[in-house]
Chains A and B, each alone.
Chain A
Amino acid sequence: MSAIRIEDLTKDYAIGFWRKRPYRALDRLSLEIRSGEVFGFLGPNGAGKTTTLKLLMQLIYPTSGHAEILGKPVGDVATRQRIGYLPENPSFYDYLTAEELLTYFARLFGYPAAERKRRVTMLLDRVGIAGERRLQLRKFSKGMIQRVGIAQALLNDPDVIFLDEPMSGLDPLGRRDVRSLILELREQGRTVFFSSHILADAEALCSRVAVVAGGRLAASGLLGDILAFEVRGWELVVTGAKPDVLASLSHIFTRRTEISPGRYALELSLDHPPEQVLSSLIASGASLISLNPIRDTLEDFFVRRVAEAGPRESNAVGPTAQIPRSGVG
Chain B
Amino acid sequence: MRAVSWIAISVFRESVRDRVPYNLVVFAVLLMASSYLLGQLTAGQDVKIIKDLGLAATAVFGLFIAVFIGIGLVSKEVERRSIYSLLAKPISRPQFIAGKYAGLVLTLAVNIAVMTCALYLVLAYMTWIGSPTLKSAWDAPGVDVALLKAIFLIFLELALITAVALFFSTFSTPLLAAALTFGIYVAGHFNADLRNFDRVVTPAPAVWLARGLYHVLPDFAAFDIKTQVVHGLPVPAGYIVSTAAYGMAYIAAVLLAATFIFSRRDFK
Contact = CB atoms under 8 A, between A and B. Distances in A.
Given A61-B264, A77-B90, 5 more contacts: A61-B266, A85-B88, A90-B85, A105-B89, A108-B6
B18 interface: yes
Nearest to B79: A91
A90 B86 CA distance: 11
A71 B267 CA distance: 24
Contact of B87 (A59, A81, A162, A328): A59
B14 interface: yes
B10 A104 contact: yes
Contacts of A153: 85
B3 interface: yes
B215 interface: no
Contacts of A152: 85
Nearest to B6: A107
B90 A91 contact: no
Interface string B42-81: 0000000000000000000000000000000000000011
Interface in A70-99: 77-78, 80-81, 83-87, 89-96
A105 B6 CA distance: 9
Interface in A39-93: 54, 57-61, 77-78, 80-81, 83-87, 89-93
B90 A87 contact: no
Contact of A327 (B7, B13, B92, B268): B268
A91 B80 contact: yes
**9 closest Cβ pairs, A-B complex:** A95-B17, A85-B88, A87-B84, A60-B266, A80-B90, A107-B6, A108-B89, A59-B267, A91-B80
B89 A59 contact: no
Contact of B90 (A58, A81, A89, A100): A81
Contact of B88 (A57, A104, A136, A327): A57
B91 A105 contact: no
A319 B105 CA distance: 50
27 contacts: A57-B84, A58-B87, A77-B90, A77-B91, A77-B92, A78-B90, A80-B89, A83-B88, A85-B85, A86-B85, A87-B81, A89-B81, A91-B80, A92-B82, A93-B10, A94-B14, A95-B13, A95-B14, A96-B13, A100-B13, A105-B85, A108-B86, A110-B90, A136-B17, A149-B85, A152-B85, A328-B268
Contact of B266 (A59, A80, A105, A136): A59
Interface string B25-48: 000000000000000000000000
A71 B254 CA distance: 36
Interface string A221-255: 00000000000000000000000000000000000
A49 to B, nearest CB: 14
Contact of B2 (A84, A110, A136): A110
A91 B82 contact: yes
Q: Which size class do B's interface residues fall under?
A: 20 to 34
Contacts of B85: 85-87, 90, 92, 105, 149, 152-153
A104 to B, nearest CB: 5
Interface string A152-176: 1100000000100000000000000
Contacts of B266: 13, 59-61
Nearest to B77: A93
Contacts of A58: 87
A89 B81 CA distance: 9
Contact of B82 (A78, A93, A108): A93
Interface in B212-268: 264, 266-268
A54 B268 CA distance: 8
Nearest to A25: B268
A59 B90 contact: no
A136 B13 CA distance: 12
Given A61-B266, A100-B13, A91 B81 contact: yes
A95 B18 contact: yes
A328 B268 CA distance: 7
Nearest to B16: A95
Contacts of B92: 77
Contacts of B89: 80, 105, 108-109
A85 to B, nearest CB: 4
A81 B91 CA distance: 9
